[in-house]
Amino acid sequence: MFGRFGFAKSLALPFIFSLSVAVSGKPEFIISPTGSGKTVIVKAVERYLESVDYPVVFADKINLTNLQALNDWINNNPNCVIVNDDFSHIGTSEYNTEKTGSLIGGLSYDKRFKDKAMKIDIAHVEHLGFITAIQPYWIKDVVISGTWTTFFRQRFIRYYMLSAYHYGKQRSPRIMIDRLIKGMKTYNVPKTIHHNLNLKEALRFQLGGGRGGECYNDIRRNIYKFVGQKAYRRTCNLIAERLMFEHSFMRRDYDLLRRKYIVQTNDIEFTILNIALRYNPLTYSDLARELHLILDEEQANRTLAKLINRVESLKWISRLSQRQVKKRGTLLIVNPELKKRLCLEE
C-alpha cells in the first residue's frame, strides 16, 4: 500500500496521518520511545510543508519567551503549523504545561487566544496545526495533571507510533526524511467521499463526541488527498487502530476519596513492544542494552523476566518455542495476531 515510499514505508502511515492532522489545524502527540522515528516524522512534516510553501515553524523549545515570539508570526499566518520534536522541552511545571496547552488548544479549536499576563493576543486563525513528539514514560506526568483534563485530553490527538524503523540498521534520519517526501503524492478530493466509521469512532473515543466529529471531517479529507481512493479505506482503518491503542496503553480512574486521578500507563511495556518490532526476534541481551540496564547478569535476567511477563500478559509479544530458544537463547517476537491487525511491516 505504501510501496512508493520504498525503504521508508514503515514510517509512511504516521507521516501521512501527522501531515493530515497538521493541515487540518489540529494538535497531535506522536507517542513512541527513543529511536523509533518520531523526530523523522516531525522533520518530514516540516520539510514537506516548506516544499509546498505552507507556513510552518519549528519550535525547538516551547516556553513563555518562544510563545510570545510566535505571537506576530501566527497573526500574520492564519493558516500555519508549529512543529516540535520533544514536548518535554516545555519542562515539568504545571504552569508551562497549562499555558502551552491553553494556547495551542485554544487556537486550534476556538481560533483565538488572549492572555494579558503572557502578553499574547492572537485575534483569529483559520487553521493552526501542532505536531509534537513525546516519550511514553513522560506522558504519564502529563495525564495525571488537571491540565490534561482541561486542555489535552479532548484537544490533542494521541497517535501511538509502532514501526520497524531502527536507527543505524536502516538509513540515516536525513535519508529517511528525503525518501518520505519523495514518495508523497496528492490526489483530487471529490465533494463527497465515503465515511469511515472506524476512524470516526476512534477520534470520538479520544476527543469526545463534539470535537471528535469536528476533527474527523477535516482529517479524513486530507487523508484522501494524500493517499487517493484505493488506499483511503485501509489507511483510515490502520490509523483508527493506532488511536484506539490507547485502550491498551492507559487506564485512568478517579479516586473519590483522595479527589485525584489515578493513572496507570503501560509505558515500559510499550517501549519493549517497539524494541521487539525493530529486532524481531529479540534476545535478552538486545533488550537489556536497549533499556540501558546497568546490572549484573543475574539481576538483569530477573528484571527482564518480570518485564517480559507483563508485556506477554498484554498479548503484545510471544516467546519462541523451547527448541528455538535452546539454539539461540531466549527469543521474543511480536505477537503475530497483533502484527497482522496493525499491519506492522518490517
CB distance 252 to 139 below 8 Å: no
> What is the rounded average pLDDT of the residues 46-52?
96
Task: Point out which residues pair with 27 in neighbouring strands.
Answer: 130
What average pLDDT does the chain have? 84
Q: Which residues contact 227 (CB under 8 A, 6 or more apart)?
A: 16, 187, 235
Residue type, 315: K
C-alpha dist (Å) from residue 329 to 273, 290, 310: 19, 17, 20
Residue type, 21: V
Is the pLDDT assigned to residue 163 strictly greater than 80? no
The pLDDT of residue 93: 61
The pLDDT of residue 149: 61
> What is the rounded average pLDDT of the residues 271-285?
86
CA–CA distance, 7 with 230 (Å, rounded to integer): 21
Residue 26 φ/ψ, nearest 5 degrees: -125, 155
User: 113-122, 136-145, 328-337: which range is least confident on average?
Assistant: 136-145
- Looking at per-residue confidence, does 328 or 18 come out higher? 18
The pTM assigned to this predicted structure is: 0.89
- Map out the domains of the chain with their CATH numbers: 3-250 (3.40.50.300), 266-342 (1.10.10)
Closest CA relative to residue 275, chosen from 132, 77, 171, 136:
136
User: 111-120, 215-224, 244-253, 315-324: which range is least confident on average?
Assistant: 315-324
CA–CA distance, 10 with 124 (Å, rounded to integer): 37
CB distance 30 to 161 below 8 Å: yes
Residue 196 φ/ψ, nearest 5 degrees: -120, 105
DSSP-derived letter for residue 31 is E
Kindly report the length of the chain: 346
The pLDDT of residue 228: 95
Is the pLDDT assigned to residue 327 strictly greater than 60? no
> What is the rounded average pLDDT of the residues 259-263?
73
CB distance 154 to 50 below 8 Å: no
Q: Where residue 169 falls among pLDDT bands split at 50, 70, 90?
A: low
Q: Where residue 346 falls among pLDDT bands split at 50, 70, 90?
A: very low
Is the preceding peptide bond at 78 cis, omega within 30 degrees of 0? no
pLDDT in tens, 99-110: 777 778 778 888
Roughly how many angstroms between the first and final C-alpha of the chain, as a whole number? 14
Residue 192 φ/ψ, nearest 5 degrees: -120, 130
The pLDDT of residue 116: 79
